[in-house]
Amino acid sequence: MIDKKDSEPAVVTEPQDKEISVIDLDSDTPVATVQPTTSGAIDTSRKKRKLGTLDGFVDHPMSTAQKNRADRKFLRFVIHANISFVSSENEYLNDFLHDLRPSYDAPHRFPLTHTLLDAEAADVFLREADHLQTSRLLTMLEDGWEDRLKHSIYGTVAAGIDSFPIIMGLNDLTGECGNALKCLDIVVQSLELMGVPEVKNFIALTTDNPTTMQSFRRLFQKKYFWILTFACFLHSLNTLIGDICAYPPMKKIVTKANRTVTFFNGSHYWGGQLQMEAKRLKVTRGLKKNCESRWYALILLCVSVTAPQEPLATTCLRKDAQKKSQGLSQVAPDVLEIVLHTPEFWPLVAQLTRVAKPIVDAIRNCESCQAMLADCMLELICCARTISKMSMEENEDKGFLTHAKETFDRRFKMIATPIHWFALFLHPLCQKLAVSNASAHGPSVDSMIETALTVALQWKWSEGQASQLVTDLKAYSQCKSPFAGGQRNAREWWENLPKTNHESIRKLAIVLASIVPHSGDVERLFSDLGDIQTLRCNSMTVLTMEKTGKICSRLSLISLTVPWAWNCVVGGISSYELYLKARTTTGNGNVIHRKHNHMHTQATPGINAELAKDLKNPITWIPPLDGSGDDETENVVDKAYQELDRVKEDEVPATVTPGSIIDGELVDFDEYARVECGEVVAADEDNMDVVGNQSEGGWSVAQLMQR
């Protein structure tokens, strides 16, 4: 038998004319020289070829197109990771990149902030302008913000229900009069720049509610008559919480809660001691450091105080906490007084959080881009039902509960405008709820028709369209065909309705179901800009920050924790495409993009679940840079109450109308329970009266047969 091994011809390797440069991962020097292969190294070479191709070892020179593409991706990383542009010149970063690709040098700060940033910003602008021009039924959002450098910046965003938000522009009004006319000018300029000067893509304008913005909304509606204007729903709920907290004894409680949190978060030693005591007692919720004068955040701060009550008391009872020992400072006397010697503190903090909880839940549930006007009204009615069922508990303040109910009643009538009620009425599951207490003091079908005709007159509809609208609204209120049935997605239900003979009501319902009732998207823009303008990136001009913010907004549309997202970004797919892909379903039918589960279908809603995830995590106390407990957050409560006073001064007094939402005089809470369960409204029974009112001899069979 012949041995194949012995019969194989000897392999002869030809000497190579030139050396091959490869990356040697095991050497200190990134480039090594491969000498001509000898026969003794054939087996080793074959093994290497099995492990990878030669392209995996050889560093090919990058073409100009490859270099530009790599630079653009590097810029996206710098912006999305929120690191300073000067970091691109870091020697360790360049050393790392040279290990990956010796021929690639990262762009320095100047090309990053000029050529590359301009190119990426131009690409984003073209994409967003094209998207804006092809979009319909958008809501314009306008708000102001003060950055770290005390610039007065106004942002304009185009938003839609379950839609990709578009940043239209940032304008620096520092040193200028930021009045209503100026706000109108910057919005008109943004519209012209984005290629939609006629504003036909927009149906509504939503802002917060100071006097300037109230005037701006009137001017904008006067210029573009079809625009419906709204005050931000989330700002209104935030003011509602503040008005409830304006109860004098509760103001003292909020101040004391903030003082307690501020001290322990600002102390090296006692903050750490509290952390260890909490771990020993297995308390996993830490103190929240409030950094803004929003009532939403102040309530979360109060929630964070109630959980570690036992660790706080145990820590404050220590001898070294009440008296200096071994050169260590004691717990501040006023904090000791609050924790140990103020018996009304704990029950009142608990009462405040119990009363404010449903309103904070509503803010959480309505801040998504899927929330419609009807969703906001449902959340508000849910708050009313919850507060109406509240009763006194041990050691609580009866006057505060009465104050909270009266305040909610008064502000409910300010928040729930006729348009809000009408939008609720046009939800296919809620037409009975909206007029459920018409016999008492609630809205009636006639009031809904009046609101609809007011909008039709504003939109300059013909008399024929208005008449058909009235007819359809009456049929809709009785659930007659084709308005029988319903589903949770109101817009989808109305879009599937036949257009023939029902175009007026269908068009009006789709428009109201497409309005964004809050300015959450522009608030998120400012939040992103605040993250961009860090201590190391605080010298940006407003123009540079606008470019960076727009790019970051598109790169941050979805969480990059989704497994496929990294590959999509690196592969050059735009964030809008990522957004669309996130909205598609996976193989098991789940939607990647998070939807707004309205009508309280969440598994665990509220403060103690999704709303305060940071409070549920194990305590993560971060020592401050200095040892003093005094912080600018000490004055946050005073700032919040001062801001509340300014908001109240700017408000237009609500029309005094009879009826109480808390007492169930405006809506039937039993009907709300049906909506909450998602039950479809049953059609009214037909009146089967067979006896007519025609007098004898009026007509005959023969006469009609001859016609």
- The CA distance from 667 to 191, in Å, is 41
Whether residue 227 is predicted with pLDDT greater than 90 in this model: the reply is: yes
Whether residue 607 is predicted with pLDDT greater than 90 in this model: the reply is: no
Phi, psi of 230 (to 5 degrees): -145, 150
Whether residue 527 is predicted with pLDDT greater than 60 in this model: the reply is: yes
Whether residue 224 is predicted with pLDDT greater than 70 in this model: the reply is: yes
Chain CA centroid to CA 506, Å: 29
Angle at which helices 345-366 and 233-245 cross, to 10°: 170
pLDDT tens digits, residue range 371-390? Answer: 899 999 999 999 999 999 99
- The CA distance from 471 to 480, in Å, is 11
Give the lowest-confidence range in 239-253, 482-496, 588-602. Answer: 588-602
Residue with tokens 């940043």: 167
pLDDT tens digits, residue range 289-298? Answer: 554 557 778 8
Q: What angle do CA 592, 596, 598 make, to 5 degrees?
A: 145
Buried b (16+ CB within 10 A) or exposed e, 373-404: bbbbbbbbbbbbbbbbebeeeeebbeebbebb
3-state secondary structure of 200: coil
Q: What is the pLDDT of residue 352?
A: 93
Whether residue 623 is predicted with pLDDT greater than 50 in this model: the reply is: no
3-state secondary structure of 230: strand
Residue 634: CB atoms within 10 Å: 15
Give the lowest-confidence range in 275-279, 400-404, 637-641. Answer: 637-641
Q: What is the pLDDT of residue 557?
A: 59
Q: What is the pLDDT of residue 544?
A: 83
Q: What is the pLDDT of residue 5?
A: 42
Residue with tokens 């270099």: 67
Q: What is the pLDDT of residue 535?
A: 59
Q: What is the pLDDT of residue 18?
A: 40
Q: What is the pLDDT of residue 406?
A: 94
Contact present, 203 and 228 (Cβ < 8 Å): yes
Chain CA centroid to CA 75, Å: 26
pLDDT tens digits, residue range 6-31? Answer: 444 443 333 434 433 333 333 444 33
342 burial (CB, 10 Å; 0-12 / 13-18 / 19+) is middle
Q: What is the pLDDT of residue 630?
A: 45
Q: What is the pLDDT of residue 592?
A: 47
Q: What is the pLDDT of residue 704?
A: 57
Helix and strand totals (H; E) in the chain: 32, 7
Q: What is the pLDDT of residue 23?
A: 33
Whether residue 300 is predicted with pLDDT greater than 50 in this model: the reply is: yes
Tell me which of 693 and 624 has the higher pLDDT.
693
Q: What is the pLDDT of residue 320?
A: 87
Q: What is the mean pLDDT of residues 548-572?
A: 54
**Residue 610's closest CA among 593, 594, 589?**
594
Q: Which residues pair with 206 in a beta bridge?
A: 141, 230
pLDDT tens digits, residue range 435-468? Answer: 887 667 888 999 999 999 999 999 999 989 999 9
Single pTM value for the model: 0.77
Model confidence at 172, in pLDDT bands (50, 70, 90)? Answer: confident
Model confidence at 157, in pLDDT bands (50, 70, 90)? Answer: very high
Q: What is the mean pLDDT of residues 459-480?
A: 91
Q: What is the pLDDT of residue 215?
A: 93
Whether residue 660 is predicted with pLDDT greater than 90 in this model: the reply is: no
Give the lowest-confidence range in 59-73, 493-507, 602-616. Answer: 602-616
The length of the chain, given as a count of residues? 707
Q: What is the pLDDT of residue 683?
A: 55
pLDDT tens digits, residue range 214-223? Answer: 999 999 999 9
